Structure 1
Amino acid sequence: MGKSKKLLEAFKLFDEANTQDPNKENFEGTAYPKELLYAQRMTDTLNEFEPDASEALQLTARCQHICRWEIPRESYEMNRVGYLKWRQELKKFHAEMSKSILKEAGYDDKTIDRVAFLLLKKQLKKDEETQTLEDVICLVFLKYYYEPFLVKHDDHKIVSILQKTWKKMSPKGHKAALSISFSERGKELITKALN
C-alpha cells in the first residue's frame, strides 16, 4: 500500500524537527541525531509488525519521541516519582508537538486527535492501535536499546524492566520479541524475567 502525500509530508516535517536533536547515536559507523534514528526505527518496526497499520498509527509511530530532548530527564527528581512525572509530561508534550506539525501537513482534526490519543497511550490493552503502538515501542527497545542497556545496569534491575515491558505487550508482541536475536546474557535475563 502506497503512502499518501500528506503522510510523506508529515514524516518530512517530523524528521526535520528530530534532526535538531543535539544528542547523537552512532549506528553502523554513522552518527545520527538520536531521536531521528529512533523515529525511523519505529517506522521500520511498525511496517514489519503491522504492515496494514492505519495512517494515524503510522504518524504516531514516527512522532512518538518528537523533540524529546527538550524535556531532559534531569529536570525531574531522579527517583521513581520523578521518572513517572517526566514520562507523563513527555506524552503531553509529544501530543502538542504532533498537533502543530500535523496541522501544517494538512491533516484534519479527527486524525490529529487520534494521533494525540495514541501518543497519550490511552486505553492500553483495550484499544487495538494503542496496544500495537506499545508493542512496537517495546520491540524497538528490545531490538536496538536492550543490549547497550545491559552493560550499564545490574541483573536485578534488568529483570524488573523486562517483566514490566513484557506485561505491556500483547501475545503477538511477545512472539515477535522472542524472534529477536540476543546475546547470551541478554537471552539468560529474558528467560529469568519470564520464569
Structure 2
Amino acid sequence: MARTKEFDPEAALRAALELFWRRGYEATSMTDLVEHLGIGRASIYATFGNKHELYLKALDRYTETRDSHLLRELSQPGPALPAVRAVVRRFAAEAHSDDHRAKGCFVTNTAAELSAHDTAANRRVEASWDRIETVLCSALIRAQAQDELPADRDPRGLARMLLVLMQGLRVVGKASDDPGRVRDAAEHALRLLD
C-alpha cells in the first residue's frame, strides 16, 4: 500500500521557490532545502527529483504565475498603450523595492547564474522572455490598431526593446542605490511609444 504524503507538495514547492529565489541555485544545498521545507531528503527526491529538477519546477511555477499575471494586465479590453506604460512603470517601481532588492527577478537571476551552462534552465528563461515579448507585441499591435501608437512604429521591435529594458531594470534595481536610475530609464524608453 502506498504511503500518503505527510506534507503539502504545493507548499513545499512554494517554499523551495522562495529559497532558490533568495539564495540562487549554487548557494542552496540539499541540506538547506531539507531544513527550509521541513521534509526529509527522501521525500524531496520522491516528490520533486534531485535539486536541479526541483529548481526547474520552482522556476516553472514562478514563470506560470508571473507570465499569466502579465498576460492578464496587457490583455484587458480598452486602450492598450496605458496598460503597457503601467507595466513598464510597475517593473521600474518594483525593481527598487526592498523585496526585489533582496531577491531580484527569479528569471533574471536564473539567466545570470545558469543560462550560460544549463540548457534546461536557459530554455525556460528563453520561453518566459518569448511569452513576455509576445504579450507586449500583441498589446502594441492592438494599440496601433486603436490609433494609440503611430503607424510607423514596429510593434515587434518595441516589444523586444521593452523586454530588454524590463530585464535590465531588474538587474540595475537590485544593485543600485539610486531609484532615479531605473525610473528615468523607464520614462525615457516610454517616450519611444509617443
Same fold (TM over 0.5): no
Between the two structures, name the one with larger relative contact order (CA 8 Å, sep ≥ 6). Answer: 2
Output the TM-score relative to the length of structure 2. 0.31
TM-score (norm 1): 0.30
User: When you count strand as a share of all residues, which structure comes out higher?
Assistant: 1
